[in-house]
Amino acid sequence: MLSAYGKNRGGLKPIVKDEGNTITTEKLSPEIEFSHVNFKYDEVGADILKDVSFKVNAGEVVALVGESSAGKTICISLLNRLWDVDEGSIRIGGIDVKDMKLHNLHDLTSVVLQEVYLFNATIMDNIRLSKPDAMLMEVVEVAKMARIHDFIESLPQGYDTVTGERGVQMSGGQRQRIAIARALLKDSPILILDEAVSNLDTKTDMEIQDTIRHLAHKKTILMVAHRLSTIMEADRLIVIRNGKVVQTGSHTQLLTKDGYYMELIAAQLS
Ligand SMILES: Nc1ncnc2c1ncn2[C@@H]1O[C@H](COP(=O)(O)OP(=O)(O)OP(=O)(O)O)[C@@H](O)[C@H]1O
Ligand SMILES: [Mg+2]
């Protein structure tokens, strides 16, 4: 069975229907609200998200944190309507994502996935994927914003370097920054970033931090953050455990409370 995005991995979930209204996305405030969201992959399966509610204000940087399999990526998948929620709602600017055309939803959000795929093409074309007619200047601008321009310029072929399977090998952090540049070129008001789980070296770590800091408050950013360094860049954290929101607050606020977040951080530092 196919979802709007390709193969439906869950198998039993219906294809999302593009039955919403056409909306004027420019007029919408880019705020996101999850309200009592419940989700399971199939009728007999376990609950994946249980009564999940949280808000991301326009221009805010919010990070979803939690252990592996907690339900962070699925929040992003549901926001982008890879599947639909079973109960509750997800709204952008007050409008349920089911009530807007899928193309409107896709104009509002740019997504950088956990595992970034680069095509066997030039860096230029890999970035331009989201806007094939973009001018060189625009590509350079977003590459600078994503903090990847200097690296690209340091390559002998620069933006014409071929990446991907048969091209130059890039680290996870570099690939993710190429994907951030690609997402920025689209220039949607909401940026969604599912941070790579793999450990990155300190330099890459600092560069990604710098990227997020640079973008903060220019866009609404919802990110899944695994590393303490990126967690600390967020205005607010939504702590997810076994499909439920268990704590919210800034890193500093949550550090003053005994609770699951303290356990998570202690585990990272040990
Ligand atoms: N296609 C699928 N079909 C059935 N169950 C799935 C599917 N994809 C994910 N799950 C399950 O849903 C739960 C939430 O997964 P999710 O990908 O949201 O975790 P996560 O918090 O992003 O973890 P990680 O930090 O490892 O990326 C997990 O128990 C996972 O096994
Ligand atoms: Mg994930």
Residue nearest to atom 29 of ligand 1 (CA): 69
Find all residues with CB under 8 Å of 233, minimum gap 6, and list them: 61, 63, 209, 212, 213, 216, 225
Whether 9 has a pLDDT exceeding 70, the answer reads no
Q: Is the dihedral angle over the CA atoms 27, 212, 124, 169 positive or is it negative?
A: negative
pLDDT bin (cut points 50, 70, 90) of residue 105 is very high
What's the confidence (pLDDT) of residue 11? 54
- Give the three-class secondary structure for 232: coil
Q: Give the single-character DSSP code of 74.
A: H
What's the confidence (pLDDT) of residue 2? 38
Nearest alpha carbon to residue 194 among 150, 227, 171 = 227
Mean pLDDT of 230-252: 95
Ligand nearest to the CA of 64: 1
Beta strands in the chain (DSSP E): 2-3, 6-7, 32-40, 47-56, 61-65, 87-92, 95-96, 109-112, 190-194, 220-224, 236-241, 244-249
pLDDT bin (cut points 50, 70, 90) of residue 226 is confident
pLDDT bin (cut points 50, 70, 90) of residue 170 is confident
What's the confidence (pLDDT) of residue 3? 40
- Give the three-class secondary structure for 120: coil
Average pLDDT over the chain reads 89
What's the confidence (pLDDT) of residue 229? 85
Q: Which CATH number fits domain 2-16+23-116+189-269: 3.30.420.130, 3.90.1150.10, 3.40.50.300, 3.30.230.10?
A: 3.40.50.300
Check if 72 has its Cβ closer than 6 Å to any atom of ligand 1: yes
Check if 243 has its Cβ closer than 6 Å to any atom of ligand 1: no
Mean pLDDT of 95-112: 96
Q: Where are the domains of the chain?
A: 2-16+23-116+189-269
What percent of the chain has a predicted confidence (pLDDT) above 70?
94
Q: In DSSP terms, which residues pair with 244 in a beta bridge?
A: 241
pLDDT tens string 177-214 = 999 999 999 999 999 999 877 666 777 778 878 888 88
What's the confidence (pLDDT) of residue 1? 35
Residue 269 CA to ligand 1 center (angstroms) comes to: 24
Whether 268 has a pLDDT exceeding 90, the answer reads no
Cβ count near 253 (within 10 Å): 13
Nearest alpha carbon to residue 107 among 210, 209, 52, 188 = 188
pLDDT bin (cut points 50, 70, 90) of residue 12 is low
Residue 260 CA to ligand 1 center (angstroms) comes to: 20
CA distance 25 to 92: 10
Run of H or E residues at 184: helix 172-186
Residue 71 CA to ligand 1 center (angstroms) comes to: 6
Residue nearest to atom 25 of ligand 1 (CA): 68
CA angle 113, 138, 26 (to 5 degrees): 70
Residue 75 CA to ligand 1 center (angstroms) comes to: 10
CA distance 58 to 63: 14
